[in-house]
Amino acid sequence: MTNASRYHHGDLRSALLQAASEQLKEQGIDGLSLRKLAEKAGVSRTAPYHHFKDKNALLCALAAEGFESLDELISQRFEGETLRDQMLFFVRDYLRFAVDHPERYELMFGRTLWKAGTPTPELKSVAYRSFRHYTDKLAALTAGQLPAGNDPLRLAQASWATVHGLCRLLIDGIYVNQEDMDAVSEQSVALILSALGR
């Protein structure tokens, strides 16, 4: 019995997620429709609804995947000898992730899910976790080196905002060109580092 002739797909959920991932990359968030995904998986229009409550739920799952990758990056990519090198490595890898997967990044951080939609508990949890990991990492790296009166949490928020803002401007093509990426990321790291009193 061939794949195409089966009434039950067998692994529709992950087939949908995979198709969604490709569709997201090629067509963007708005070009992603449940009906197209269903067709891609060789299944009827409403079959996806037995694996995801609605479109929002599928998108949340897709975004959660992204945060998993980002979390790995945060956990691993602080290599380098000096603090400056470590931050530079991280910022460059983070930027590369965003530039390589712009639509995914938009999905992860954009209004679609967080404001227009309703983020899944799973999504919230994995997103907050990656931020906590970043805060921890930053705190460990700068332990005992922060100028008095500096809250590590505030610093994490402000520096994340810098990198995040850079990503947005970069991948949406506003104000910052991709050729400037290295120069601007160096400038941003300088921004963050000078707040650490170096």
Partner DNA sequence: GGTGTATTTTGACAGTGTCAAGATTATTTC
Partner DNA sequence: GAAATAATCTTGACACTGTCAAAATACACC
Q: Which residues bind a second copy (CB under 8 A)?
A: 28-30, 102-103, 106, 109-112, 114-116, 127-128, 131, 151, 154-155, 157-169, 171-176, 180, 183-184, 187-188, 190-192, 194-195
> Smallest distance from the beta carbon of 93 to a second copy, in angstroms?
17
CB atoms inside a 10 Å sphere around CB 48: 24
34 interface partner picked from DNA, a second copy, none, CB below 5 to 8 A per type: DNA
Sign of CA dihedral 10, 13, 17, 20: positive
DSSP state letter for 81: S
| Residues of the shown chain interacting with DNA in the complex, contacts defined by CB under 7 A | 6-10, 12, 32-36, 38, 43-47, 49-51, 54-56
Q: What phi and psi, each to the nearest 5 degrees, are found at residue 7?
A: -75, -45
> Smallest distance from the beta carbon of 72 to a second copy, in angstroms?
19
> Smallest distance from the beta carbon of 62 to DNA, in angstroms?
13
Q: Which residues contact 12 (CB under 8 A, 6 or more apart)?
A: 41, 43, 47, 48, 50, 51
